[in-house]
Amino acid sequence: MFGEDASEMRVLPYWGRNLGNISQDHLRLSLINRDFTSNDYEALLSLDEAAGRSRGANQDRIDRLPCYTVAEGSKAPPCTVCLDPLNVSDQARILPCLHQFHKDCIDRWLRDNSTCPVCKMDPFSV
Ligand SMILES: [Zn+2]
Ligand SMILES: [Zn+2]
């Protein structure tokens, strides 16, 4: 008894209500500019959280870890991220587990993985 009308009703929720008064343009606009609901907001939030977990630490937290300039006579072991030695006047960063790396190397690493590359300790958990 509904025939083709019934299938269109499923596609367009507006069908059968006010459609005679709404132009196609208005209908399209009302679909695009639909209200941003709290459901949308929560979906965005959970997306953010998922991204945050996989991205590792943000730069703000990384910057709270101590760094220093390597001095003459330093006995620091080589950086295990790039395997190059920590040379005099290089910027180095030292984690709470006392492992140390080039600042640039460990910053890049921590933005992807928030653990020490040597011992897997979470330097932000202390
Ligand atoms: Zn390095
Ligand atoms: Zn470590």
Considering the domain boundaries, does residue 10 fall inside one?
no
Considering the domain boundaries, does residue 80 fall inside one?
yes
What is the residue range of 96's domain? 59-112
Spatial CB neighbours of 26, under 8 Å, sequence gap ≥ 6: none
Q: pTM of the entire structure? A: 0.58
What is the distance between the alpha carbons of residues 118 and 96, in angstroms, rounded to a whole number? 12
- Work out the average pLDDT over 59-72: 95
Considering the domain boundaries, does residue 49 fall inside one?
no
Minimum-distance ligand to the CA of 85?
1
Q: What percent of the chain has pLDDT over 90?
A: 52
Q: What percent of the chain has pLDDT over 70?
A: 59
At 92 the pLDDT is 97
CA distances from 42 to 11, 33, 47, 90 (A): 26, 18, 8, 44
Considering the domain boundaries, does residue 91 fall inside one?
yes
CATH of the domain at 90: 3.30.40.10
Number of domains observed in the structure of the chain: 1
Minimum-distance ligand to the CA of 90?
1
CA 102 to ligand 1 centroid distance, Å: 4
Considering the domain boundaries, does residue 95 fall inside one?
yes
Task: Name the more confident of 115 and 49.
Answer: 115
pLDDT band at 52 (very low <50, low <70, confident <90, very high): very low
At 40 the pLDDT is 74
Considering the domain boundaries, does residue 126 fall inside one?
no
Task: Name the more confident of 55 and 87.
Answer: 87
Place of tokens 């132009």: 23
- Work out the average pLDDT over 75-85: 95
Considering the domain boundaries, does residue 104 fall inside one?
yes
CA 123 to ligand 2 centroid distance, Å: 8
Considering the domain boundaries, does residue 20 fall inside one?
no
CA 89 to ligand 2 centroid distance, Å: 22
The average confidence (pLDDT) of the chain is: 79
